Amino acid sequence: MESKQELKVVLIQQDLQWEDKVANINLFDTCIKSLSAAADIIVLPEMFSTGFTMQAEVFAEEMSGRTIQKMQEWAKDSNAVICGSIIIKEDQKFFNRFIWVEPNGKIEKYDKAHLFRMGEEEQHYTRGSEQLLLNYKGWKIAPFVCYDLRFPVWLRRTEKFDFDLMIFVANWPERRSKHWDLLLQARAVENQSYVLAVNRIGNDGKQIYHSGNSAVIDPLGNIVFKLEHEAMVKEIVLSKASLDNYRESFPLGLDTDKFEIC
């Protein structure tokens, strides 16, 4: 696969319709088809087809289900990776699963490792136990889901888990948006990595409001882009040369403490 020094990423921040797959799929279909320029990666929010519902048994799909088929269709038609999380049923268990679909139909997956117990997520879903490291067009990419953001040990860049870009997809409420902003910048700085985060806007079915705050943070912690409250489809270009030059000039990784996740 061709390596790229510049990676074109698209963030799609929208107001999800509560537990309405048809409406949400149609919404993202319109957003993706509205893109006028070629992109490399298109990122959708957490549970983009349903909102953050605990009715896993009602809305879960198999890996061969209609939503993933639609993601494959979008990826092929746009010639870009499509990624976001949906509810998956597998071996009689339910997962909040990040799905990564490449234009050739290849699928990778990451199951949310930290389930949001304050929303009773751990009562309905099974936690994931494995990190995922993707290699795409010369970029190493690590995806995570929402509440994972609060756990820096799980997210830490190491020699074995070495990434250039962290992707977070979320349904993060407005009332904790300050935490979201601070943690995204912290994860970028401590890992010397780009951070791309896509959240939803609007009220969910429990009348919890989400302000979006989808963002791109550079490895120094600078906010490249952030948008609150509004629906948007935004393209950002990331520079591999800038990342590599910064890491070489400030080799933080040489002094990183060694540890293993058990």
CATH number at residue 119: 3.60.110.10
pLDDT at position 223, please? 97
Backbone phi, then psi, for 48, in 5-degree steps?
-65, -20
The residue range of the domain holding 167 is 6-254
> How much is the pLDDT for 1?
67
167, part of any domain: yes
In a domain, 261, yes or no: no
CB 105 within 8 A of CB 75: yes
- Successive 10-residue mean pLDDT values, the chain, 262 residues: 88 98 98 93 98 98 97 97 98 98 97 97 98 97 98 96 98 98 98 98 97 98 96 97 96 82 68
Residue 96 belongs to some domain of the structure: yes
How far CA 230 is from CA of 9, 53, 63, in Å, comes to 19, 22, 31
Is residue 230 included in any domain, yes or no?
yes
**Domain assignment of residue 262, yes or no:** no
Number of domains the chain is built from: 1
Catalytic positions, please? 46, 112, 146
Q: Name the DSSP class of 246.
A: H
Q: What pLDDT score does 255 carry?
A: 83
pTM, rounded to two decimals: 0.97
